[in-house]
């Protein structure tokens, strides 16, 4: 009887241990699922944060360009105003002497003739070959140059194209694609606009 009693007690204790172990396993499994869910959330959050930072970077670049352009316009306007003032003073002084006026008019005619005969290189510059621009900008970065040419060709064939579709078309990271695209935007090879998301087009003025 005593042996049976001890045997029964041992079985109960073993059963309790098994139940405790099973409960511990269930708790570990539950916490593991929570951890996996949080890990997936953090990965998705990091991806979205990276894209958001790149968007801010692209906007900051455009704002800087606009600021520089506005400064250039203000500088040109100031220079034009100074030039106009100087011309006014010169005209007043020339009006005091008829001979000087005549000589000045003749000189001005000669200068105008020279200006007319000078070649206009602005249209040539505006019609630069985009591929030549890419070659020059990425001259010391062969891998980036090849990627830039590929991106340009994809945009040209599928414009307007979103960033996601652009990345899907090439074997590179979204970060690298954004870096190259921002350079092409800076060089005015491509244009960016917003239509339910960022889309890219070829700059037809080239």
pLDDT over 50 (residue 5) = yes
Residue 116: predicted pLDDT:
43
Q: What is the distance between the alpha carbons of residues 49 and 175, in angstroms, rounded to a whole number? A: 12
Residue 14: predicted pLDDT:
81
Residue 118: predicted pLDDT:
43
pLDDT over 70 (residue 130) = yes
Residue 117: predicted pLDDT:
43
Residue 105: predicted pLDDT:
52
* 38-53: pLDDT as tens digits: 888 888 888 888 788 8
Residue 149 vs residue 11, higher pLDDT: 149
Residue 7: predicted pLDDT:
65
Which residue is it, tokens 């070649």? 119
Q: What is the distance between the alpha carbons of residues 132 and 143, in angstroms, rounded to a whole number? A: 16
* 46-79: pLDDT as tens digits: 888 878 887 776 665 555 555 555 655 565 655 5
Q: What is the distance between the alpha carbons of residues 142 and 45, in angstroms, rounded to a whole number? A: 33
Q: Which residues touch 88 (CB under 8 Å, ≥6 apart)?
A: none
pTM of the model: 0.40
Question: What's the whole-number average pLDDT of the chain?
Answer: 72
* 166-191: pLDDT as tens digits: 888 887 788 888 888 899 888 888 88
What percent of the chain clears pLDDT 70, i.e. is strictly above it?
61
Residue 52: predicted pLDDT:
81
CATH of 127-202, one of 3.40.50.720, 1.10.3720.10, 3.20.20.70, 1.10.10.10: 1.10.10.10
Residue 117 vs residue 206, higher pLDDT: 206
Contacts made by residues 50-54, CB under 8 angstroms, sequence distance 24+: 50/174, 50/175, 51/174, 54/174, 54/175, 54/178
Mean local confidence (pLDDT), 27-42: 88
Find the Cα–Cα–Cα–Cα dihedral 174, 177, 183, 186, rounded to 10°: -70
């Amino acid at each position: 009887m005593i042996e049976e009693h001890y045997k029964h007690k041992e079985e109960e204790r073993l059963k309790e241990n098994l139940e405790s172990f099973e409960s511990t396993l269930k708790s570990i499994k539950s916490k593991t699922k929570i951890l996996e869910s949080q890990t997936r959330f953090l990965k998705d959050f990091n991806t979205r944060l990276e894209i958001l930072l790149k968007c801010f970077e692209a906007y900051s670049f455009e704002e800087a360009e606009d600021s520089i352009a506005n400064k250039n316009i203000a500088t040109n306007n100031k220079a034009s105003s100074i030039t106009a003032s100087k011309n006014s003073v010169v005209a007043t002084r020339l009006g005091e002497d008829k001979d000087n006026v005549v000589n000045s008019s003749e000189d001005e005619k000669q200068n105008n003739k020279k200006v007319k005969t000078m070649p206009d290189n602005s249209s040539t510059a505006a019609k630069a070959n985009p591929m030549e621009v890419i070659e020059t900008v990425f001259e010391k970065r062969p891998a980036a140059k090849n990627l830039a040419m590929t991106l340009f060709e994809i945009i040209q064939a599928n414009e307007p194209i979103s960033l996601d579709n652009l990345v899907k078309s090439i074997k590179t990271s979204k970060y690298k694609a954004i870096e190259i695209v921002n350079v092409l935007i800076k060089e005015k090879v491509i244009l960016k606009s917003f239509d339910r998301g960022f889309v890219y087009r070829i700059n037809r003025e080239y």
